[in-house]
Amino acid sequence: MKSIFGFCSRGRTGVSLPALDVPRSEGIPEGLSREDDGNVGLPRASEGQVVRHFVNLSTRNYHVDKGMYPLGSCTMKYNPKLHENLARMEGMASVHPLCPDDQVQGTLEMMHHLGELLCEITGFSGVTLQPAAGAQGEYCGILLIKSYHESRGESHRNEVLMPDSAHGTNPATSTLADCVVVGVESNAQGLVDPEDLRRKAGPNTAAFMLTNPNTLGLFESHIEELTAIVHGAGGLNYMDGANMNALLGIARPGDMGFDVCHLNLHKTFSTPHGGGGPGSGPVACSAELAPFLPEPVVRKDSRGVYRLHRERDPFGRLLAFHGHIGVLLKAYAYILTMGAEGLREASEAALINANYLKARLSEYFDNPFDNGPCMHEFVLSGERQAAKGVKTLDIAKRLLDYGLHAPTVYFPLIVHEALMIEPTDTEGIEELDRFADAMISIAREAEEKPHLVTDAPVNTPVLRLDEVKAVKDLCLVEPREGGDGA
Amino acid sequence: MSRFIPDSSGTRRELLRTIGIEDFEELLGPIPKKYRLTRPLELPGPMSELGLLREFGRLARNNEGAGKVCFAGAGAYDHFIPAAVDHILLRSEFYTAYTPYQAEVSQGTLQAIFEYQTMIARLTGMEMANASMYDGASAAAEACLMAMRSTGKDRVLVAGSLNPRWLQVIRTYIRRKDFRLDGIPFGSDGRLDIDATAGMAGEGVAAILVQYPNYYGLVEDLEPLAELAHSEEALLVVAADPVALPMLRSPGDAGADIVVGEGQSMGIPLSYGGPYVGFMAAAMKLARKMPGRIIGRTEDRAGQTGYVMTLQTREQHIRREKATSNICSNQALMALANTVYLSLMGEEGFREISSQCYHRSHYLEEGLLGIPGVRRVFEGTPFFREFAISFPVSADRFLEGMLEAGILPGVPLTELGDGAMLVTATEKRDRSQLDAYVGKAAEICRGGAS
Amino acid sequence: MSNVPEDLRYTDTHEWVKYLGDGEYMMGLTFYAQDQMGEIVMVEFPGLNEYGIGDVMGSLEAVKTAEDFYAPFDCRVARVNEALEDEPALINEDCYGRGWLVVVRTDDPSAFEGLKTAQEYSEFIGE
């Protein structure tokens, strides 16, 4: 589609600004003023042209309001419309972050209460709402753990244990926190091998990071043993809460021997993904770790006034301000709307939907870890199809032709040709069947007319894109035309 | 039953039958019994839509600060947002899409972000930009790490006139024991002391980080800093305010290697601090050292232009513990807000915004300097949109008096003195509001407020 | 079926090594490894420094994977294949010839002898 920079007729604008009603002061001195003199290179378009451009672009997107998004570990749920309106209320959206506390009691009350609710949901007693996303939550959690060890004179603990099925953010976070990643093997059932964990946990263990249910969609059923091994070695247990949508009202990380977890509000608590963000990744922890949470935290003082409380500075702040308030508001609205019963109902529906799809597809695709029910997601392997020359990537692209989105592919790394499917509680039987029927039909095509799959997609705004060219002939910005459309 | 869950108890039985079980509890088999909750969570609700509206209405009314005329800045600014920005953002197609992993059905997001990268690169005068960071502060922290990575050195000189909250974030991000941060002092004019900087530079310096304009709104001269950095084979990292860039010499032109900043001013509401968006631009030769997602242009099988996420081997999902950063989710929707905002403003509109911020803040400063006892904190340095000023009363008392008059007068700068404030005027503050500020401030300074 | 020339030695990390004479050894990426990676788009070379056995010498990037390459034994890098800077895909086209990575030096001939033979490497990759 035409670029926005194609609109470049001089003098055209998409806004009407008030005239300057104060005298002009002396300008910026020569040498400090802009070199290209009114030619930054921004577009010049009318409001209508801008709106049309972006509306036309938008029609080239798949989105969860259009159909199912079975991306494993991404939890693409419906985003309630009311919640966006609430977060955008004038009283919420127009408060400056450095307003004195007494000027922002509504937002502070929300933060205080949301923190309490997240503690109840996770079984923990301390929480910070600051982290911008899951990965920053992980970083916050690992720093929290390091601060705890340091306070006990054990600053040498710098190893973070994690299974080979971990999300890529887990090892990347550990490196950022100046820790060393130690891989723990999975056993034939796709669960962490306790014997290997026992071998690797030791006097240098800072933390064990585990996603539970894991990225195969399996609950780590010997979790008691795993967390005890780590505690026995003096380490702490961190739960990556990416898969928390399986457990709402069913089980709590705080009860299973975990010491810290982060939550992805943009997954489990239905806030929108916006094409890649913003997210929000609050971190909850045990009472023992709570003193090490980053400040400020919201406290209610003796007069019932909510305050941003600063006392110590355990490891600094994660963002310039207090977190993604707009996202927190939507998650808060979701929890209030659902209540305890609704949240449990959501997790139950997520489990049932995943198991239903697993049952419908098991005849057509390999399932390397089919040992009983899955939780909210499951992982199939496209090896049977790959043997016929149809790769998992082809299956993913063919799903787009059926008007659906693809599952997460090639992850977790321990499954060949992996297809990781998470239907979420949002889908009803009609959409689940549409997806299952499409997958079964593609499995048949792979047998009978494989070119239909390997040529896919053909019904999309563009055909399969050349990613090698994108890297080899890097084009990361629109080149400037000579004359800049003047 | 929740209005978000479609399956009735009847369909649920049908689903369970296909799974081959009678009772939902069988699906919980893998969870040890002792860990299964036997009581409902203690949560309020469920609330009706109407109930929720009332509750949020109550909370919003308790945010008294929302109704105040805002002269506070210090990293978050009260700018005008054209209505079309939100109409685009709230389109389901953008708002409810995931990260563009399947490029063929994500061309809307991908092209919009490519256009965003282009706008950021042009504003900053750099060759390329990434697809966004969490906020300006975390972008600055990642830029320091990137500079260390690409120079193989471990020391960063940070301007003492950098936003102190940003410095805290940088400290949080730089945890390696062998990394060092050193603060560069600023002179009585509020600008960096070039001689002192030269004295501190030397072996082992990976980068010099300077804010532009700095925390006190003052415009630094970047070129000598760039020359100094380059003479030590270090990088110049500039934390730039994008609204100032249509007026100020671009960091790229002055020799910057990495430019980061906060994009909240461009179409994003204050929302008590977030979500905002950080940008990061750099010289092309540093592209492979960048954190975060990057969108590139390519072609499809039929030769049509299309967009994909590119240089992905830098990222955590591929390079894992060797990735350039752990960032995964970014601020795509906020970057889209920037893109639509800048498209609407256009070349002339954004320059006009920049210019109005400049002139209105100067008009306000001049008015305030007419009040006996009020003086500048820094003399003789050009400033943009905000300025440090000292009142003859304590900041607490000033704040209280101004709030009573419905004005949020700025952010106290206690480190610069008891009555020092950082005061901001954007294009939204019209002459009557600016005059009212001066009038009320004069009253308080005369002792008339209490 | 992979191509594993008989006259070369191999490492567990999929480098091949060839004795050039006079204490010099050429190394590159095996056919099997380049096939797994797909088209290589970038090579990051080591400096002309000393490396201990197993040290990371440099890295190779494809579109969706990135792999490091490692010193097969204690050695010093004598030269690198500069042709790969412009044409990294030479590794895919001719991994045992024009797609070589680096030439290293060692004074200890037993280090080379200790590497996998073609037959051992073929077994290692399951063929």
pLDDT tens, residue by residue, B120-162: 999 999 999 999 999 999 999 999 999 999 999 999 999 999 9
**Residues whose CB is less than 8 angstroms from the CB of residue B109 and which lie 6 or more positions away in sequence, other chains included:** A61, A275, A276, B94, B97, B100, B332, B336
Q: What is the pLDDT of residues A356-406, one digit of tens each?
A: 999 999 999 999 998 899 999 999 999 999 999 999 999 999 999 999 999
Q: Give the pLDDT score at A482.
A: 56
Structure token pair of residue A235: 């380490």
Rg over alpha carbons for chain A, rounded to the nearest Å, is 25
Mean pLDDT of chain C: 91
The partner residue sitting opposite C64, judged by closest CB among B288, B318, B322, is B318
Q: Which domains are assigned to chain B?
A: 67-79+346-445 (3.90.1150.10), 83-340 (3.40.640.10)
Res. B176: pLDDT tops 90:
no
Closest residue in chain C to residue B288, using alpha carbons only: C42
Task: Check residue C46 and give its pLDDT.
Answer: 81
pLDDT score of A38: 66
A400 close to A376: Cβ distance less than 8 angstroms: no
Closest chain A CA to residue B17: A356
> Residues 6 or more apart from A378 whose CB is under 8 A from it?
A216, A217, A354, A355, A357, A358, A367, A420, A421
Evaluated on CA atoms A28, A31, A37, A42, the torsion sign reads: negative
Q: Residue C65's pLDDT band (boundaries 50, 70, 90)?
A: confident
Task: Give pLDDT, residue A434.
Answer: 98
Chain C residue closest in CA terms to A467: C63
Q: What pLDDT, on a 0 to 100 scale, did the predictor assign at position B213?
A: 97
Q: Report yes or no on C110 lying in a domain.
A: no
pLDDT band at A485 (very low <50, low <70, confident <90, very high): very low
Residue C36's pLDDT is what? 87
Other CB atoms within a 10 A radius of the CB of residue A244 amount to 26
The stretch A43-68 carries a mean pLDDT of 97
Rounded CA separation A405/A399 (Å): 6
A neighbour chains, 3+ CB pairs within 8 Å: B, C
Q: Which of B47, B76, B96 shows the shortest C-beta gap to A337?
A: B47
Tell which residue, B80, B265, B273, has the closest CA to residue A108: B273
Does the distance separating the beta carbons of C63 and A468 come in below 8 Å?
Answer: yes
* pLDDT (tens digit per residue) in B295-332: 999 999 999 999 999 999 888 988 888 889 999 999 99
Q: What is the pLDDT of residue B449?
A: 42
Which run of H or E residues covers position B435?
A: helix B431-445
A189 contacts A369 by C-beta, under 8 angstroms: yes
Q: Is residue C67 part of a domain?
A: yes
Task: Name the phi and psi angles at A471, rounded to 5.
Answer: -85, -40
Query: For the residues of B248-277, what is the DSSP string, one character each?
Result: BPPHHHHT-SEEEEE-TTTT---GGG-S--
**Which residues sit opposite A44 in a β-bridge?**
A8
- Scanning the structure block, which residue is given the tokens 């409810």? B96
Q: Report the percent of chain B where pLDDT is more than 70.
A: 99
Mutation site, B285, B313, B314, B320, interface C, largest C CB count within 10 A: B313
| B-to-C residue pairs, Cβ atoms closer than 8 angstroms | 15
C61–B contact, CB cutoff 8 A: yes
Q: How confident is the model at residue A483 (pLDDT cuts 50, 70, 90)?
A: very low
Q: Which of A32, A237, A367 to mutate to test the interface with B (most CBs of B within 10 A)?
A: A32
Both structure tokens of C32: 């099997």
Asked whether the bond before A314 is cis by omega within 30 degrees of 0, the reply is no
In a domain, C111, yes or no: no
pLDDT at C127: 67
Q: Residues A3-12: pLDDT tens digits? A: 999 999 988 9
Q: Return mean pLDDT, chain B.
A: 95
Query: Complex ipTM, two decimals?
Result: 0.97
- CB under 8 Å to A147, separation ≥6 — which residues? A292, A314, A315
User: What band does B64 get if pLDDT is binned at 50, 70 and 90?
Assistant: very high
Assigned domain for C122 exists: no
The answer to whether the Cβ–Cβ distance between A471 and C41 falls below 8 Å is yes
Cβ contact (<8 Å) for B115 and A317? no
Does C50 fall in a domain? yes
Residue C112 lies in a domain: no
In chain A the domains, ranked by start, together with CATH numbers, are 81-337 (3.40.640.10), 340-470 (3.90.1150.10)
How many domains is chain C built from? 1
Q: Read off the pLDDT of residues B248-288 as tens digits, 9 standing for 90 and up.
A: 999 999 999 999 999 999 999 999 999 999 999 999 999 99
**B416 band by pLDDT with thresholds 50, 70 and 90:** very high
Give the CATH number, domain containing residue C45: 2.40.50.100
B66: nearest Cα among B57, B54, B75, B55: B57
Cβ contact A354:A217 at 8 Å: yes
- Predicted local confidence at residue B450, as pLDDT: 42
Domain that holds residue C49: 9-104
What the block records as the tokens of A96 is: 């400056």
Measured between beta carbons, which residues in chain C are less than 8 angstroms from residue A467?
A: 63-64
- Residue B433, class by beta-carbon neighbours within 10 Å (0-12 exposed, 13-18 middle, 19+ buried)? middle
pLDDT in tens, A13-45: 999 999 999 999 998 888 899 987 768 999 999
With CB atoms and an 8 Å threshold, state whether A472 touches C64: no
| A55 Cα distance to chain centroid | 26
* Size (chain A), residues: 486
Residue closest to A369 by CA, chosen among A219, A250, A223, A168: A219
Mean pLDDT of all residues belonging to chain A: 95
Nearest to A372 among B29, B118, B135 (CB): B29
